[in-house]
Amino acid sequence: MTSAPAFRLRLISLASCALLLVLWWVATGPAGWVEATRFPDPATFLESLKQIALGNYAGGDLAKHVMTSSWLVARGFALAVVIGIGLGLAMSLSAFCRDFLGPIFNFVRPVPPLAWIPLALLWFGLGDASKLFVMALAASIPLVINTMTGVEQIDRTLLEAARVSGARGFNWLRHVILPGALPHIMIGLRLSLQTSWTVIVAAELLGAIWGVGKVLTAAKDDVYPGMIVVGMATVAVLGIVSSLLLGLAERRMVPWSKR
């Protein structure tokens, strides 16, 4: 249902996008407000995109860099999901686990994700292992917190009803605790995915053979603004695509949440 004002607002959105593109073209081209060494004009941007998509830059083509980073994120995110949800469930179901691990967790939690990178470089070197280590560690933290919150806010009456109906052991976990905590776990997954991408880009900026972060470093060192924009756009698109995939998964797994 598109009412008249909604239609007008959409028109304004479209117009502002168009205006932005025109402004970009004017500022970098005819008007010359921005030097070409600072920001590329649209034609240069497309040329850089063509160069890396069809040819070669920083040791590979765009597909190679994107696949390298995505595969790393997929593995790191998977590790974080297993560790984060596992630890979160253990700490919300067993009082001993919570009491024992809670203070240790609170000791580790304030360290920002990227601050683990130097440590990981010393322990695992520049390869994939150090990137996976940082992702598994940093991206699991929001999952632990949100899994615990999710379990905590399950309606106690439901828990009692399930228990009275004989839910125990694996069934208890699979059909009562997990579905109850799932809306919050989804929030955790979203944060964790975001952390994974930030970590991978930062880690690749500090050292990598291929990857989107490697493209950014190479473009920075070459003072190549066109390729910098290509790299940033790639990071943004990868973030958008993976969060869309997560949204699809959410709609399948949590059909009752209204988002």
Partner 1 sequence: MKSNAASPRVAQPVPRDPHKPRKAVGMIAADRPPRRWIGALGVASFVLVWHLLALRIDSASTLATPVAVLLAFVSMLHEPFAGSTLGFHLLASLRRFGSGFGLAVLLGIPLGVAMGWFRTLDAAVKPAFDLLRFIAPIAWVPFAVLWFGTGFGGPVLIIFTGAFPACVIGAYGGAKLVDGRLLEAARMLGARSGRILLEVVVPSAMPAIVAALRVAAGNAWQSLVGAELIVATSGLAYIMVRGQMNRTIVIVLVGMLAIGLVGLVLEWLFRHFERYVKRRLGSAAA
Cβ-contact 165, 108 below 8 angstroms: no
| Residue closer to partner 1, measured from CB, 40 or 60 | 40
Q: Does 98 bind partner 1 (CB under 8 A)?
A: yes
* Largest CA-CA distance found in the chain, in angstroms, rounded: 75
Q: What is the DSSP letter of 40?
A: -
Q: Does 168 bind partner 1 (CB under 8 A)?
A: no
Task: Give the separation between CA 125 and CA 177, rounded to whole angstroms.
Answer: 40
Q: Which of residues 60-89 bind partner 1 (CB under 8 A)?
A: none
| Residue closer to partner 1, measured from CB, 64 or 224 | 224
Q: Which of residues 175-234 bind partner 1 (CB under 8 A)?
A: 177, 194, 197-198, 201-202, 205-206, 216-217, 219-220, 223, 225, 228, 231-232
Q: What is the DSSP letter of 154?
A: S
Task: Give the separation between CA 3 and CA 177, rounded to whole angstroms.
Answer: 43
| Residue closer to partner 1, measured from CB, 243 or 255 | 243
Task: Give the separation between CA 145 and CA 67, rounded to whole angstroms.
Answer: 30
**How many beta carbons lie within 10 A of that of residue 49, not counting itself?**
17
Residues binding partner 1 (CB under 8 A): 5, 9-10, 12-13, 15-17, 20, 37-38, 91-104, 107, 110-119, 121-123, 148, 151-156, 159-160, 163, 177, 194, 197-198, 201-202, 205-206, 216-217, 219-220, 223, 225, 228, 231-232, 235-236, 239-240
